[in-house]
């Protein structure tokens, strides 16, 4: 049944959270819902939603706490458009969503799609009141649900465990491996270990490099590839340290750093082993993409990476930010001839299909 659904994004940034909220607005519109998107005028998310053909409205930046004025204005807009469901995903927008629910009562259902960890206890009165204004809370992994149970007083009967999906069609079929390597200027005849992500200390490029130094020197059939951009205004020192370490180890011919490209399927097709070295990733969409591609995966044994890999069922785990631990996993893998994980690909292609995610959330809404 078609619903009138509003997605709200109070952030002016453009990162994974904002990208995924815009994507979901488009997916829901393509499924026949009447979708509107509310964001700060001039923000990237506002422009991207507009460019995607979603009915877009601008709102001023709301306060993280006691966003009464912003919520009242938004409620009037939602009421005028006969919106039935309000969806938020940024924790900073929870206050606004709670106040909208206060004004709207039963006329609007409020739903939170969780994409960030609950790092500290939020069992105080203010958070308890705010959280329990929500009609439904979607969390993508069991460890996040456990955090909720331990660190909030939220009514757990309102919580649904629903993995976040991706557009599977982008990765099926994968591009040709040889063509992809040529496009990225990567060697054709090497075993390539790849990491995709912003060049940043928390993403662990240096951890992977240190794990690979000896493995590269001992075997010139191994190659390491980083795809990503340094954060402008931040992280320049980390990037320069990475370049200096490659030069010091005399590995310029065996380590590639290539700019980020939206052609993620091409990157996945080109590499043999995918590494997720982030210290504590809440829910790495790129890990999901690697799973859907049937890649051999090595990931940090923490947070969402361990959750997605089901504590080692679907990949190899190493101690977070520990190059020695990572090296041990890579030593075992680099001696293999076949890196395709067909069972993983089949499982992930079903479990993380965007349409299944939408169906599951629609089912939650229809029961409210």
The residues spanned by each domain of the chain are: 4-165+354-366, 169-351
CATH superfamily entry for domain 4-165+354-366:
Glycogen Phosphorylase B; (3.40.50.2000)
Q: What is the CATH number of domain 169-351?
A: 3.40.50.2000
Measured distance CA(302)–CA(256) in Å, rounded: 27
pTM over 0.85: yes
Predicted confidence band at 232 (pLDDT cuts at 50, 70, 90)? low
CA distances, 231 to each of 193, 234, 320 (Å): 23, 5, 22
Measured distance CA(336)–CA(222) in Å, rounded: 12
Token pair of 91 as six digits: 């924790």
What number is the average pLDDT over the span 8-35?
A: 95
Token pair of 68 as six digits: 């009464």
Q: Is pLDDT at 59 greater than 90 in this prediction?
A: no
Measured distance CA(43)–CA(49) in Å, rounded: 10
Q: Is pLDDT at 62 greater than 80 in this prediction?
A: no
Identify the pLDDT of residue 49: 97
CA distances, 44 to each of 22, 209, 301, 355 (Å): 10, 33, 33, 25
Predicted confidence band at 233 (pLDDT cuts at 50, 70, 90)? low
Measured distance CA(203)–CA(64) in Å, rounded: 27
Give the residue among 132, 65, 144 at the shortest CA–CA distance from 302: 144
Q: Is pLDDT at 222 greater than 80 in this prediction?
A: yes
Q: Is pLDDT at 235 greater than 90 in this prediction?
A: no
CA atoms within 13 A on the CB side of 73: 12
What number is the average pLDDT over the span 79-83?
A: 96
Measured distance CA(345)–CA(300) in Å, rounded: 20
Q: In CATH terms, are 4-165+354-366 and 169-351 the same topology? A: yes
pLDDT digits (tens, 9 = 90+) for 321-344: 999 999 999 999 998 888 889 999
Q: Is pLDDT at 60 greater than 90 in this prediction?
A: no
Give percent of the chain with pLDDT exceeding 70.
98
Q: Is pLDDT at 41 greater than 90 in this prediction?
A: no
What number is the average pLDDT over the span 173-183?
A: 97
Measured distance CA(218)–CA(251) in Å, rounded: 11
Give percent of the chain with pLDDT exceeding 90.
90
State whether the Cα torsion 355-361-365-366 is positive or negative: positive
pLDDT digits (tens, 9 = 90+) for 96-146: 999 999 999 999 999 999 999 999 999 999 999 999 999 999 999 999 999
pLDDT digits (tens, 9 = 90+) for 142-170: 999 999 999 999 999 999 999 999 999 99
DSSP 338: -
pLDDT digits (tens, 9 = 90+) for 237-291: 999 999 999 999 999 999 999 999 999 999 999 999 999 999 999 999 999 999 9
């Amino acid at each position: 049944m078609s619903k009138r659904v509003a997605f709200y994004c109070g952030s002016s940034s453009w990162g994974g959270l904002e990208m995924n909220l815009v994507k979901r607005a488009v997916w829901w519109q393509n499924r026949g819902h009447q979708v509107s998107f509310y964001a700060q005028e001039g923000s990237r998310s506002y422009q991207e939603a507009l460019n995607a053909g979603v009915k877009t409205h601008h709102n001023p930046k709301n306060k993280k706490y006691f966003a009464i004025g912003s919520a009242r204005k938004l409620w009037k807009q939602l009421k005028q458009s006969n919106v039935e469901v309000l969806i938020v995903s940024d924790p900073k927008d929870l206050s606004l969503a709670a106040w909208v629910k206060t004004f709207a009562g039963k006329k609007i259902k409020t739903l939170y799609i969780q994409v960030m960890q609950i790092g500290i206890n939020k069992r105080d009165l203010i958070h308890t009141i705010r959280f329990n204004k929500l009609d439904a809370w979607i969390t993508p992994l069991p460890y996040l649900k456990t955090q909720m149970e331990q660190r909030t007083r939220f009514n757990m009967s309102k919580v649904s465990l629903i993995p976040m999906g991706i557009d599977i069609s982008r990765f099926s079929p994968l591009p040709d491996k040889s063509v992809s390597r040529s496009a990225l200027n990567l060697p054709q005849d090497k075993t390539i270990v790849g990491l995709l992500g912003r060049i940043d200390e928390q993403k662990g490029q240096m951890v992977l490099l240190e794990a690979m130094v000896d493995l590269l020197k001992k075997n010139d059939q191994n190659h390491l590839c980083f795809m990503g951009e340094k954060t402008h205004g931040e992280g320049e020192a980390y990037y320069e340290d990475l370049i200096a370490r490659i030069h010091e180890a005399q590995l310029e011919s065996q380590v590639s750093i290539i700019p980020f490209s939206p052609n993620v399927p091409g990157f996945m097709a080109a590499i043999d082993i995918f590494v997720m070295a982030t210290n504590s990733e809440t829910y790495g969409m790129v890990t999901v993409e690697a799973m859907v591609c049937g890649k051999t995966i090595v990931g940090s044994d923490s947070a969402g990476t361990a959750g997605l890999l089901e504590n080692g069922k679907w990949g190899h785990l190493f101690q977070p930010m520990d190059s020695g631990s990572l090296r041990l996993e890579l030593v075992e893998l680099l001696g293999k001839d076949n890196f395709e994980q067909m069972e993983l690909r089949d499982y992930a292609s079903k479990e993380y299909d965007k349409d299944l995610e939408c169906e599951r959330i629609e089912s939650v809404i229809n029961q409210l």
